[in-house]
Amino acid sequence: MSVPSTIFALSSGRGPAAIAVVRISGPRAGEALKLLTGKLPTPRQAALARVRDPASGEPIDQALVLWFPAPQSETGEDVAELQLHGGRAVIAATLAALARLPGLRLAEAGEFTRRAFENGKLDLTAVEGLADLVMAETEGQRRQALGQLQGALGNRAESWRQRLIQALALVEARIDFSDEADVPEDLLKPALTIARELIGEIAAAVSDGSRGERLREGLTVAIAGPPNAGKSTLLNRLARREAAIVSPYAGTTRDVIEVHLDLAGWPVTLLDHAGIRETGAPVEMEGVRRARDRAQAADLVLWVADAGEPAAEKNAAAKGAVKTPDSTDAAPPTWLIRNKIDLIQDEHRSELRIPSIGKNEAISDPNNSLTNIDNRSLTHRNESRDFTSEYEFSLSATTGEGFDVLLGQLARYAEAFLAGSESALVTRERHRRALEETLAALRRAQSADVAAKEDLLAEELRIAARALGRLTGRVDVEDILDVIFRDFCIGK
Ligand code: GDP
């Protein structure tokens, strides 16, 4: 095996900042640290050192340095860490000095973590958890990511795999030593018992309604409706920044704009859609197509309509621009937002009841369509229910009137949608696929014609174990052999 190169990188954010952390990992890390600071500090103890350019001898900075000899380091290799002053010139001079040392090179993206994985410091699910932790935008996401980093799914999957290997060892023993008098006849039954127990546990983890994936990605809310209804204005108010271009001309929002929000600790992704309408312009057509796809994949649609034009809102909905909840297949729930109430004259406004909802009055449970709310108090008076919106709001995106009701309701909806998701084991499609593959193999193993045939049974168990091994990134067959000869002491 070739000696791995020694890598280095700025591990903290780009300067200027109070402190910059430069990490070095690999067989030459200690040597590099000695060349830069003249000494190797006591392992895992911070030491103050003067950092010099080894080529010129010129001092670069005064730094706190740390030394983690292999294997007790983050990557499992020798690791040195420099805590420098975070000025750009300091960082640049240090990185340049390191680059000039033989056998050292700048790390590629994710390379430290990759080495940690290769050295068995992290399994794949923990690597993913680490990536998610760095990207986490809300408390819910942070807790979920930390759970994965600490092995929520990885440890579970590994223990499932160990039990599968036990089952497989029983079946393999039956195959290999079937002629021997001292091998117990019924090794298959306990193997099948293990398989049955695993089916129960893995099926339970998979049938979580994709809650983990939902939390990771956030509640997706599509803002749709006819052009000029005020979608972009509403989005900006929701995002509290100028995320979408607001313009008085129809069709300016050509593509899907995505804004990530933290609503009371819950992640919400808002999608603003190109004014959905029939159009001939190719660029816009593409935008409209994408808008439709994404609106239909959203968890919730806010259908924005001009409150002064009730006919328009119905036409737009009837056109099928966005599936309304009465569509046959599972379309996302749609809330009707009557916008621009500031333009409606006072005598007409009394007809348009603006909902006022106390904090505890309404509980939006995404699974039951808002059963606790007296719908009549929220709908347009005399509204025929041909727009089958599950929830309706009247507001002004420009003045902000009525906006807090929507925001509060959205936050509660997000919470009801995402609460409890942090404990879900499956946080990615990859996890789900691996577990489903495992389940399928285990179920085949249970079927009568397979269960009776040792070699077929062994093969299904092997497929199941491999799927779990791919989940954690730990596929090897050696340990199957180890278990056979350790646990069975057949004496061969
Ligand atoms: P979109 O095409 O649906 O994204 O609509 P925009 O957000 O671009 O808004 C179209 C026009 O309506 C702009 O001139 C906005 O300033 C205006 N507008 C949006 N919301 C309101 C509102 O609540 N009240 C009033 N008076 N004007 C609004």
Distance, CA of 257 to CA of 189 (rounded, Å): 57
pLDDT at 349: 61
Atom of ligand 1 nearest to the CA of 245: 8
pLDDT at 383: 35
Measure 233 CA to ligand 1 centroid, in angstroms.
Answer: 6
pLDDT at 274: 52
Measure 486 CA to ligand 1 centroid, in angstroms.
Answer: 73
Pocket test for ligand 1, best of 246, 273, 309, 349 (most atoms within 8 A of CB): 246
Measure 225 CA to ligand 1 centroid, in angstroms.
Answer: 12
Q: Is the CB of 247 under 6 A from ligand 1?
A: yes
Phi, psi of 118 (to 5 degrees): -65, -30
Token pair listed for 352: 């348009």
Q: Is the CB of 144 under 6 A from ligand 1?
A: no
Q: Is the CB of 402 under 6 A from ligand 1?
A: no
**Which residue has a Cα nearest atom 14 of ligand 1?**
248
Pocket test for ligand 1, best of 309, 398, 406 (most atoms within 8 A of CB): 398
Q: Is the CB of 398 under 6 A from ligand 1?
A: yes
Atom of ligand 1 nearest to the CA of 343: 26
CA dihedral (32, 38, 41, 44) positive or negative? negative
**Which residue has a Cα nearest atom 22 of ligand 1?**
340
pLDDT at 321: 43
pLDDT at 94: 97
Distance, CA of 54 to CA of 32 (rounded, Å): 9
Q: Are strands 219-224 and 266-272 parallel, antiparallel or unpaired?
A: parallel
pLDDT at 483: 44
pLDDT at 96: 96
Token pair listed for 130: 């680490």
**Which residue has a Cα nearest atom 9 of ligand 1?**
230
Distance, CA of 80 to CA of 150 (rounded, Å): 24
**Which residue has a Cα nearest atom 11 of ligand 1?**
248
Token pair listed for 491: 């004496």
Pocket test for ligand 1, best of 223, 228, 279 (most atoms within 8 A of CB): 228
**Which residue has a Cα nearest atom 18 of ligand 1?**
230
pLDDT at 399: 93
Q: Is the CB of 228 under 6 A from ligand 1?
A: yes
pLDDT at 358: 36
Measure 397 CA to ligand 1 centroid, in angstroms.
Answer: 7
Closest CA to 142 of 221, 215, 239: 215
Indicate whether this model's pTM tops 0.85.
no
Q: Is the CB of 236 under 6 A from ligand 1?
A: no
Distance, CA of 455 to CA of 176 (rounded, Å): 10
Do residues 465 and 477 touch, judged by C-beta distance below 8 A? Answer: no
pLDDT per residue as tens, the chain (492 positions): 577 899 999 998 887 899 999 999 999 999 999 999 999 999 999 999 999 999 999 999 999 999 999 999 999 999 999 999 999 999 999 999 999 999 999 998 888 988 888 898 988 899 888 888 888 888 888 999 999 999 999 999 999 999 999 999 999 888 877 666 555 567 788 999 999 999 999 999 998 878 888 888 889 899 988 888 998 889 888 887 655 555 445 444 555 677 888 888 888 888 876 544 445 555 556 656 666 676 777 889 999 999 887 555 554 444 444 444 444 456 788 899 999 999 887 656 655 554 443 333 343 444 433 333 333 333 333 333 334 455 889 999 999 999 999 999 999 999 888 887 777 899 988 899 999 999 999 999 998 777 778 889 999 999 999 999 988 887 754 554 454 334 433 333
Q: Is the CB of 193 under 6 A from ligand 1?
A: no
Bond before 71 cis per omega within 30 degrees: yes
